[in-house]
Amino acid sequence: MGIELTDRVALVTGGVQGIGLGIAEAFLDAGAKVAISDINGEGLKAKVRELQGRFGENVYGITADCSQEDDIVRMVAEAVGKFGVIDILVNNAGRGGMHYFWEMAAHEWDEVVDLNLRGAFLCTREVTKVMLEKGTKGKIINIASTNAILPTTGIAAYCASKGGLLMFTRVAAQELGPHGINVNAIGPGSTMTPITEGFYNLPIINAGFLERTPMGRFGQPEDIAKAALFLASEYADWVTGQILYVDGGQSLMGLPRYLEGLVQSAGG
């Protein structure tokens, strides 16, 4: 009962590394055509060239900043121009930052929320227009976080943006259900990626997070990719408005409460 996405077209944002890349590769392995977008143009070119060696013309790269409306409109149009349709959208592009909220400048808050929440809204809006125009029974997957429900010192903007993304997921699912479009979210727990590994490998962080993860390990991008593969497939045709926590049980336990020193050392 392997999952196949043959002849399906996916757009994955923030796909040059980490969770986004893991999802893009899983979709390609399942037979999908995948447009990968990322703000890192040079890194994207190199990664797409590498993937084309394995998947040929089934993979395509689009440089875009998913906090900018004009970039998003162009990105979606370019993906449709290349592949004709978009069956699956994965809103993965995101960012964080560590500050006490009362020490944040407004632009620092906006930078997080504009990408994590506003950007996901804009991507979903533009792809929804395409799906409705073409009558596509599509799948939209938002990459949220356990921090959508677990407050964590020093990352108020990130937590707020991911919490907002969950409610947007639910409302979008209500509005798009009558059109046969599923909207769901994935809540990754502590996942090792090129961006996070330096943080999670700090001895106090490593021990503290593992202690609060019943399954006793950090996640890997392929763990999140397997969940995305399910939500993108026919096996999730009657699943919508849900968040699937892929966290080794971390959301059952809560997060460590000793991050204050790290916030201070980060300049927050």
Q: Which of 100, 158, 200, 235 is catalytic?
A: 158
CA dihedral 153, 105, 96, 260 (to 10 degrees): -20
* Gyration radius from the chain CA atoms: 18
Distance separating alpha carbons of residues 165 and 20, to the nearest angstrom: 17
Asked whether the beta carbons of 263 and 98 are under 8 A apart, the reply is yes
The 3 state secondary structure assigned to 43-61 is HHHHHHHHHHHHHHHHEEE
Write down how long the chain is. 268
Asked whether the beta carbons of 6 and 211 are under 8 A apart, the reply is no
Which residue, among 158, 159, 164, 156, has the nearest Cα to 103 in the 3D structure?
Answer: 156
Verify whether residue 200 is a known catalytic residue: no
Distance separating alpha carbons of residues 227 and 198, to the nearest angstrom: 25
Q: 125: which 2 tokens?
A: 């809006």
Query: What positions carry a catalytic annotation?
Result: 158
